[in-house]
Amino acid sequence: MTITRRDVLLGATATAALMPLAARAQTSEVVIGVIYPFSGASAQQGVDAQKAYETALEVINKDTDFDLPLAKGEGLPGLGGAKVRLVFADHQADPQKGRAEAERLITQEKVCAVIGTYQSSVAVTVSQICERYQIPFVSADNSSPSLHRRGLKYYFRASPHDEMYSAAMFDFFDALKKKGTKINTLALFHEDTIFGTDSGNAQAKIAAERGYKILADIKYRNNSPSLSAEVQQLKSASADVLMPSSYTTDGILLVKTMAELGYKPNAIVAQDAGFSEKALYDAVGDKLEGVISRGTFSLDLAQKRPMVGKINEMFKARSGKDLNDLTSRQFMGLIVLADAISRAKSTEGEKIRDALAATDIPGDKTIMPWKRIKFDEMGQNNDADPVLLQYVGGKFVTIFPPQAAIAEATWPMK
Amino acid sequence: MDKNFATRRRRDLFVAAALAVIAALAPLFVKDVYVQNILILTLMYAALSQSWNILSGYCGQISLGHALYFGLGAYTTALLFMKFGVLPWFGMLAGGLLSALIAMGLGYLCFRLRGHYFVIATIVIAEITLLLFHNWDWAGAALGIDIPVRGDSWLKFQFTRSKLPYFYFALVLACVAWFVTWWLEDSKWGFWWRAVKDNPEAAESLGVVVFNSKMGAAAVSAFLVAVGGSFYAQFVSYIDPESVMGFQFSLLMALPAVLGGIGTLWGPVLGAAILIPLTELTRSFIGGSGRGVDLIVYGTLIILISLALPRGLVSLFPSRKGAAR
Amino acid sequence: MNSIFDGGPGVLTAEAIIQSLASGLLMGLLYGLIAVGLALIFGLMDVVNFAHGEFLMISMYATFFLFAFFAIDPLLSAPLVAAAMFVFGAVVYLLIVRFAMRAKANAGMVQIFSTFGLAIVMRGLAQFFFTPDYRSIPQSALGGKTVSIAGIFLPEPQLVGALLSIAAFGALYLFINRTDFGRALEATREDPGAVALVGIDKNRVFALGWGLGAALVGLSGAIMAIFFYIYPDVGASFALIAYVTVALGGFGSVFGAFAGGIIVGLVEATTALILPPSLKSVGIYAVYLLVVFIRPRGLFGSM
């Protein structure tokens, strides 16, 4: 990237594009790109994410008294109180569009880092582009385990991936078994996109390792018009635990179809996604008393850490919803990223990367029930302990692991 | 053909050459990678739509399942490279030939179907293939194929930051697709297709030769679209079933030709030149609102153009009116 | 693991097979009801409405909002929704389709893409006004209720949907064959030029045809809203099934859509017993291809 005489003559746009990334440091404003689906089938997740990021932005840019990095004082202290600005882009769940938007944000909007993306498939291309431009990518809410294993230097994920989540579920089963509860057989029910496939693979693998028998491993087409045949097979299998990995739409249809076909499983232990969405419980909450979902977040943490409740109120004022597993991870992701930028004292990609790699935030300075946030050499935080939550009396209570639990699990479910 | 026709063809060739030269010089002035990205997509869709137009426009066999060939091209290239280390250039050829063969096989079965029966057959065949890829673990199933990019290489046809190689490849592909169409227009095949369109009874007497020419058109069309798919796999360096074989893709491939002028030489180029920048810009600059405004703008435009200009945007240029004749 | 080849204990009992077929039959009748509007419009004027799924989507939203704001049960709101959709369908004809049919060139493509554009606009508008949130009706007269006969469960919403579907097809049959308007529809379809001579306004007949088609979608949307989730893209899941249903039954035959729906429902249920359920649509598509390769006009098609 050298600047020749002719290039200088080519006008503002051209020269701006050729400017070395380093020349952008020392601004009074730090721009971060946020890439989500804002239209199409998963637009709702994008819109919710936007609210979560705006809440985090308020904590960062305004003076608040939470015990979180960057909460006190305005803006980023490492950059003389520079304010963070977010630029939102729509990837429509298409990897190609995610890629193009990432490139636009980096070259045109001059973002110094990118955060996203909900769909794991889009995270693949967005993280590739970020790697090429040496701009850090924070994978706030993608749970596919393959993402951090691609040898990328600029990829960071503070939250757990599906193998960690699934391992937590089996730890829970093991603990219950020790106490004498009968859990021998499982029924897996997962959708056919990257999320369900990864989750189903991880669960099947761990089940085999730990000696659980899988009676049904049902992979279904996402947004299917009917799940009768699938539920019928689950019912015939009649396993001790039903383990769904479903988005909101299929989750709603699954629960309704189960009720209609008279299938009442002994226990449901869900891989988050739809089973942490308010829309699902609004629709079929009455049939889900006692359902267990993995998560990384629980509102009952507010009992121990009052700031969790206050931040939830801030988010609720914007979105009309409580923080859930996705939105809490998005909130935390931006805090972690902004904290690294502040410590880097620079908006240069490489310096932010190094600061991210040096991140070490103790668990009680987050809104999550994690031990701490510290990235391994692949950019994965292995201290993000998943929790299991049980839906009891209209809200979630943490039941596992013991150090985070506030109640005993009700097993079997009602 | 008559003298006017010959003159027009010579002029078309001249205009195309001039446009190609102008396009080839564009990167000298356009340095912004985002704009370059839009230009590449525009050229890619122009090429795809031009190829689609050969079968669906000129032959009148409306396919809304061309994502099948696009996906086969992308997957053949990516799988051969990842599993067997075959360079993408050979993968491209292999994907193209495979798609051409499959297109002829499907043509043999489906060309007897008329109207919407044919359209729906093309849709469901592409959907079946999509579902099979979705469940095919060896080909990555839903996880797709992530092609690692390790530095710039013409041999592996991958470049980390520079968009120019992709740009020139897309330009060449668009030119080839255009030239093939141009050449077909004046060939025996082109003559039969026009005859069949003007006079359905002629179809009866020409039965067998027309059927064979359609098979040829299907093969050419599928080959070019598959090469486009190979290009896409290299360009994006990640593919999954939904993003290269989805129904949406079949529609996106048809739209430029339909809006520009179906069954015309210039329709796909014109349609892509307007439609692609428009969709990219509306998404980038109003899509982030999460309120669906980009969809409303885009959809309204499709309704208005298709109603106001049934012959497509080319009919705005009087000299080319009904260029397919 | 998920097929008869290596299923676990009890996966494929006789009871399970009967249950699958019963569920498939109910769903199939509902598919028929969803598709009949499409079949009617096509039969009348050779136009395929690519916004059919979006018609279903707004019917479901209408049912949802009548429930949310006025606490009207979907069973009661079904006629209201159908009436509203009747008006909507007629308006779409008068504002868009009428012009698409006048296209001097490429009429088929103009119809496909003007209705496709309409589908995109409708999704955008739904997202704009209703937000992309997933909605559903938590409590209703039929919601979650189920009838159990000898261990076979028949969910009431689908059961009522199926009965409604049979009734609708019956009524439509009588309507087309026994009423003046029905005969006008048929006559207009066969020769739009000639009917003008006997004083039938072609546009009026077509507008009423579109209204009727949309009203039938409205009816199915109201039933669907009882047990399905609702969001701006929900129509996409049903649109392709509806096209295949109509084509399988044969274009131009309203009865064909009925038969097509039942076949699609049963094939879907059967495929899920044999193949992994994620491939169950493959069965539907394969049966369609098989049928048209043997009978290029579908099972009962006239064109």
More confident residue, A283 or A243: A243
Chains that touch C (3 or more CB pairs under 8 A): A, B
Alpha helices in chain C (DSSP H): 14-45, 52-70, 74-92, 98-102, 107-130, 156-178, 180-190, 192-197, 202-227, 235-249, 254-274, 280-294
Which of A19, A124, A149, A190 to probe by mutation at the B interface, max B CB count within 10 Å?
Answer: A124
Q: Which amino acid is at A381?
A: N
Q: Are C93 and C206 in contact (CB under 8 A)?
A: yes
Contacting residues of C for A195, CB less than 8 Å apart: none
Q: Are A299 and A395 in contact (CB under 8 A)?
A: yes
Give contacts of B 61-80 with C, CB under 8 A: 62
Which of A191, A218, A228 to probe by mutation at the C interface, max C CB count within 10 Å?
Answer: A228
Instruction: Choose the weakest-confidence range: A28-37, A328-337, C29-38, C167-176.
Output: C167-176
Instruction: Choose the weakest-confidence range: A22-36, B171-185, C169-183.
Output: A22-36
pLDDT at B97: 97
SS (H, E, C) A100-160: HHHHHHHHCCCCCEEEECCCHHHHHHHHHHHHHHCCCEEECCCCCCCHHHCCCCCEEECCC
Contacting residues of A for B283, CB less than 8 Å apart: 39, 90, 92, 97
Tokens of residue B132, six digits: 């099979």
pLDDT, tens digit (0-9, with 9 covering 90-100), for B128-152: 999 999 999 899 888 899 998 878 8
pLDDT at A4: 44
pLDDT at C58: 96
| Residue the block writes with tokens 């909002």 | C65
Closest Cβ opposite residue A107 in set B32, B41, B142: B32
Interatomic CA distance for residues A38 and A176, integer angstroms: 41
Whether the CB of A184 is below 8 Å from some CB of chain C: the reply is no
Whether the CB of C2 is below 8 Å from some CB of chain B: the reply is no
pLDDT confidence of A20, banded at 50, 70, 90?
very low
Contacting residues of A for C268, CB less than 8 Å apart: 226, 229
pLDDT at residue B292 greater than cutoff 80: no
Whether the CB of A208 is below 8 Å from some CB of chain C: the reply is no
**Nearest residue on chain C to A287, alpha-carbon basis:** C144
Instruction: Choose the weakest-confidence range: A194-198, B19-23, B318-322, C215-219.
Output: B318-322
CA-nearest of A133, A12, A68, A42 to A342 is A68
Q: Are C37 and A253 in contact (CB under 8 A)?
A: no
Closest Cβ opposite residue C124 in set B62, B115, B293: B293
pLDDT at residue B291 greater than cutoff 80: no
Tell me the shortest Cα–Cα distance from A190 to chain C, in angstroms. Answer: 10
pLDDT, tens digit (0-9, with 9 covering 90-100), for C122-163: 999 998 999 888 898 888 888 778 888 888 889 888 899 999
pLDDT at A3: 42
Interface touch A230/C23, C-beta < 8 Å: no
**Nearest residue on chain A to B246, alpha-carbon basis:** A94
pLDDT at C303: 63
Q: Are C278 and C3 in contact (CB under 8 A)?
A: no
pLDDT confidence of B319, banded at 50, 70, 90?
low
Chains that touch A (3 or more CB pairs under 8 A): B, C
* Residues in a beta bridge with A190: A219, A245
Interface touch C247/B116, C-beta < 8 Å: yes
Domain regions of chain B by residue span: 3-320
Interface touch B121/C126, C-beta < 8 Å: no
Q: Which amino acid is at B58?
A: Y
pLDDT at A390: 93
pLDDT at B69: 97
Tell me the shortest Cα–Cα distance from A245 to chain C, in angstroms. Answer: 14
pLDDT, tens digit (0-9, with 9 covering 90-100), for C261-288: 999 999 999 998 888 889 999 999 999 9
Tell me the shortest Cα–Cα distance from C54 to chain B, in angstroms. Answer: 13
Average pLDDT over residues C32-58: 90
SS (H, E, C) chain A: CCCCHHHHHCCHHHHHHHCCHHHHCCCCEEEEEEEECCCCCCHHHHHHHHHHHHHHHHHHHCCCCCCCCCCCCCCEHHHCCEEEEEEEEECCCCHHHHHHHHHHHHHCCCCCEEEECCCHHHHHHHHHHHHHHCCCEEECCCCCCCHHHCCCCCEEECCCCHHHHHHHHHHHHHHHHHCCCCCCEEEEEEECCHHHHHHHHHHHHHHHHHCCEEEEEEEECCCCCCCHHHHHHHHHHCCCEEEEECCHHHHHHHHHHHHHCCCCCCCEEECCHHHHCHHHHHHHHHHCCCCEEEECCCHHHHHCCHHHHHHHHHHHHHHCCCCCHHHHHHHHHHHHHHHHHHHHCCCCHHHHHHHHHCCCEEHHHCCCCCCEECECCCCEECCCCCEEEEEECCEEEEEECCCCCCCCCCCCCC
Interface touch C278/A249, C-beta < 8 Å: no
pLDDT confidence of C41, banded at 50, 70, 90?
confident
pLDDT at residue A1 greater than cutoff 50: no
- Tell me how crowded residue A19 is: count the other CB atoms within 10 A of its CB: 13
Which of C23, C56, C60 to probe by mutation at the A interface, max A CB count within 10 Å?
Answer: C23
Whether the CB of B288 is below 8 Å from some CB of chain C: the reply is no
pLDDT at residue B21 greater than cutoff 90: yes
ipTM: 0.88
Interface touch B296/C286, C-beta < 8 Å: no
Mean pLDDT of chain B: 88
Contacting residues of A for C10, CB less than 8 Å apart: 236-238
Backbone CA torsion sign across C214, C217, C223, C228: negative
Ramachandran area for residue B158 (φ above 0: left; ψ -120 to 50: alpha; else beta): beta
Interface touch A225/C238, C-beta < 8 Å: yes
pLDDT at A148: 92
pLDDT at B2: 64
Interatomic CA distance for residues C137 and C223, integer angstroms: 11
Q: Taking CA B238 as the corner, what is the angle to CA B236 and CA B243, rounded to the nearest 5 degrees?
A: 85
Average pLDDT over residues C197-205: 78
**Nearest residue on chain C to A190, alpha-carbon basis:** C278
Contacting residues of C for B294, CB less than 8 Å apart: 124
Average pLDDT over residues B310-314: 87
pLDDT confidence of B48, banded at 50, 70, 90?
very high
Packed helices B164-185 and B3-29: angle between N→C axes, nearest 10 degrees: 180
Instruction: Choose the weakest-confidence range: A50-54, B31-35, C1-5.
Output: C1-5
Contacting residues of A for C135, CB less than 8 Å apart: 279, 283
Question: What residues have CB less than 8 Å from C107, skipping those under 6 apart?
Answer: B310, C100, C101
Contacting residues of B for C113, CB less than 8 Å apart: 255, 258-259, 302, 306
Contacting residues of A for B138, CB less than 8 Å apart: none
pLDDT at residue A24 greater than cutoff 80: no
Question: What residues have CB less than 8 Å from C185, skipping those under 6 apart?
Answer: C44, C176, C205, C208, C209
More confident residue, B51 or B312: B51
Average pLDDT over residues A252-264: 91
Q: Spell out a b/e string for C60-79, using b for 16 or more CB atoms within 10 Å of the CB, else e.
A: bbbbbbbbeeeebbbbebbe
**Strands A395-400 vs A387-392: parallel, antiparallel or unpaired:** antiparallel
Q: Which three-class secondary structure state does DSSP give residue C266?
A: helix
- Tell me how crowded residue B321 is: count the other CB atoms within 10 A of its CB: 13
pLDDT confidence of A298, banded at 50, 70, 90?
confident
**In chain A, what percentage of residues exceed pLDDT 70?**
93
Interface touch B302/C281, C-beta < 8 Å: no
pLDDT at residue C5 greater than cutoff 60: no
Interface touch A133/B161, C-beta < 8 Å: yes
pLDDT at residue B4 greater than cutoff 90: no
pLDDT at residue C10 greater than cutoff 60: no
Which of A32, A96, A205 to probe by mutation at the B interface, max B CB count within 10 Å?
Answer: A96
Closest Cβ opposite residue A132 in set B29, B41, B161: B161
Average pLDDT over residues B242-269: 91
Chains that touch B (3 or more CB pairs under 8 A): A, C
Interface touch A223/C134, C-beta < 8 Å: no
pLDDT, tens digit (0-9, with 9 covering 90-100), for B155-201: 888 888 788 999 999 999 999 999 999 999 888 888 888 777 766 66
| Integer CA distances (angstroms), C290 to A129, B109, B124, C299, in order | 45, 10, 12, 11
Interatomic CA distance for residues C217 and C61, integer angstroms: 12
CA-nearest of A55, A37, A138 to A315 is A55
pLDDT confidence of A91, banded at 50, 70, 90?
very high
pLDDT at residue A13 greater than cutoff 50: no
pLDDT at B200: 60
pLDDT at residue A15 greater than cutoff 50: no
| B interface residues, A as partner, C-beta within 8 Å | 29-34, 37, 41, 131, 134-135, 141-144, 146, 148-149, 160-161, 232, 236-240, 242-243, 280, 283-284, 287-290, 292, 294-295
Interatomic CA distance for residues A10 and C157, integer angstroms: 66
* Residues in a beta bridge with B145: B239
pLDDT confidence of A193, banded at 50, 70, 90?
confident
**In chain A, what percentage of residues exceed pLDDT 90?**
64
Give contacts of C 120-179 with B, CB under 8 A: 120-128, 132
Interatomic CA distance for residues C119 and B87, integer angstroms: 42
Which of C282, C291, C295 to probe by mutation at the B interface, max B CB count within 10 Å?
Answer: C282
pLDDT, tens digit (0-9, with 9 covering 90-100), for B199-209: 666 666 777 77
Interface touch C233/A41, C-beta < 8 Å: yes
Average pLDDT over residues A45-68: 93
Q: Are A90 and A46 in contact (CB under 8 A)?
A: yes
Average pLDDT over residues B11-15: 91
Tokens of residue A98, six digits: 């995610």
Question: What residues have CB less than 8 Å from B57, skipping those under 6 apart?
Answer: B257, B262, B263, B264, B267, B324
pLDDT at A27: 57
Which of C285, C287, C290, C291 to probe by mutation at the B interface, max B CB count within 10 Å?
Answer: C285
pLDDT, tens digit (0-9, with 9 covering 90-100), for B273-282: 998 998 888 8
pLDDT confidence of A61, banded at 50, 70, 90?
very high
**Nearest residue on chain B to C244, alpha-carbon basis:** B120
Instruction: Choose the weakest-confidence range: A236-245, A328-337, C94-103.
Output: C94-103
Instruction: Choose the weakest-confidence range: A77-86, A404-413, B62-71, C173-182.
Output: C173-182
Q: Taking CA C280 as the corner, what is the angle to CA C276 and CA C283, rounded to the nearest 5 degrees?
A: 120
Q: Are B246 and B130 in contact (CB under 8 A)?
A: yes
By CB atoms closer than 10 A (0-12, 13-18, 19+), residue C13 is exposed
Average pLDDT over residues B60-80: 94
Tokens of residue B207, six digits: 């039965």
pLDDT at B201: 66
* Residues in a beta bridge with A29: A83
Interatomic CA distance for residues A216 and A219, integer angstroms: 10
Mean pLDDT of chain C: 87
Closest Cβ opposite residue A256 in set C127, C144, C277: C144
pLDDT at residue C102 greater than cutoff 90: no
Contacting residues of B for C257, CB less than 8 Å apart: none
Interface touch B236/A125, C-beta < 8 Å: yes
Domain regions of chain C by residue span: 48-245
**Record: fold of B3-320:** ABC transporter involved in vitamin B12 uptake, BtuC (1.10.3470)
- Tell me phi and psi for residue C8, to 5 degrees: -75, -175
Interface touch A100/B294, C-beta < 8 Å: no
> Is omega for the bond preceding C155 within 30 degrees of 0, making it cis?
no
